[in-house]
Amino acid sequence: MIKKGDYLVIKPEWRDAGDEAFTWVARSDEQSGQVDISAVELAHLPLWPVQTVRVDMVEHRWAAQIGHKGRAPD
């Protein structure tokens, strides 16, 4: 189960050109086989872009850690 704050990788067969350069984070808990994700590198934008993907399109990179000092997903 993907949880808010988990870091993810988009599987190669679902990537757009350049997606491999981004670090993806779950913006919400997995729900109904889908999860909202955003690229960490774009968090500085006034409106942080978000995409909704099926969970079979991504893999866990690492789980969120309690006390993480980075920007928490909104």
20-29 tens-digit pLDDT = 899 999 999 9
2 Rama sector, left if φ>0, alpha if ψ -120 to 50, beta otherwise? beta
Assigned domain for 73 exists? no
Q: State the pLDDT confidence band at 14, using cuts at 50, 70 and 90.
A: very high
Q: Per residue in 30-67, pLDDT tens?
A: 999 999 999 999 999 999 999 999 999 999 887 766 55
| Domain around 23 | 7-62
Q: What pTM was computed for the model?
A: 0.81
Q: Compute the CA torsion angle 48, 25, 35, 49 (nearest 10 deg).
A: 10
Assigned domain for 21 exists? yes
Higher-confidence residue of 73 and 4: namely 4
Instruction: Give the pLDDT of residue 26.
Output: 96
Domain count, the chain: 1
Q: Compute the CA torsion angle 53, 60, 7, 29 (nearest 10 deg).
A: 60
Assigned domain for 74 exists? no
